[in-house]
Amino acid sequence: MALTIAPMTATIGAEIGGVDLAAKLSEATIAEIRAALLQWKVVFFRDQHDLDRDSHVAFGRRFGDLEVHPLTPKDQQEPEVFVLPSGGKSRAPELWHSDVTWRPEPSMGSILRIVEMPPLGGDTLWADMGAAYDLLDDSFKAVVDDLVAEHDFTYNFGRHLPPDEQAKMREKHPTAEHPVIRTHPDTGRKTIYVNGGFTTGIKGMPIDEARPILRKLQRTAQIPDVQCRFRWQPGSVAFWDNRSTQHCVSNDFLPARRVMERVTVVGDKPF
């Protein structure tokens, strides 16, 4: 297959054409997709109407092992698929974040397909956290370059539970520690690696000192210069690099229903 790659902005986002993700793709095609992902941080595919759960999982496995999210129902037939429904008063995750940073070895990438579309709205935005790092002034870089952040599973998924239930969750998923500024293992790029969904503090720093630092870093994802925005259509698929991006959804479609399904490729320990 001859791929076409159409960049969406100067640094992040590209649409890839000329490929059927449900087909058995050659190693050369997979290598082209991987190279485009590293260059553009998030890539998009249109008209993938034949991509079902089985082929979604199969495509994801071409890039590595797939994780099973702890919130996936135990009896779900395809445990690697994480279902993300929203509608009515149920909002999609609208914090800028990178997926599963609460794991000791967080995700390399996520592959998301739309299953049920609202009539209008529901776009997803991505931010290039390498470009965001470049916008920091040198004096602030000197402050944050060697800091380590704490990432807590319970902060997002257990915040409304009583303390004893939160303690049980932390026993199963202990707080992880990752560099505030990580180095991308494939490109060598420095990227901001904190997010509003899971980052709770900075190791060895009082929380009242850590909060303004984290807030300033997290807000960099909101700078339009580092963003791209994707409008979903039936058959659309997004594949992003969790090591170099953050993402956020627009909940402007509510109370209509929007259902997404995601597979997540296992990564390695940030450094």
> Would you name the residues annotated as active-site residues?
97, 99, 247, 262
Q: Token digits for 125?
A: 């935005």
Of the candidates 242, 244, 269, the one whose C-alpha atom is nearest the C-alpha of residue 63 is 242
Distances (CA, A) of 77 to 53, 170, 262: 10, 27, 14
Before 70, cis peptide (omega within 30)?
Answer: no
Q: Indicate the DSSP class of residue 213.
A: H
Before 79, cis peptide (omega within 30)?
Answer: no
- Helix (DSSP H) and strand (DSSP E) numbers for the chain: 7, 15
Query: What phi, psi does 227 have (nearest 5°)?
Result: -110, 155
Rg (CA), the chain: 18
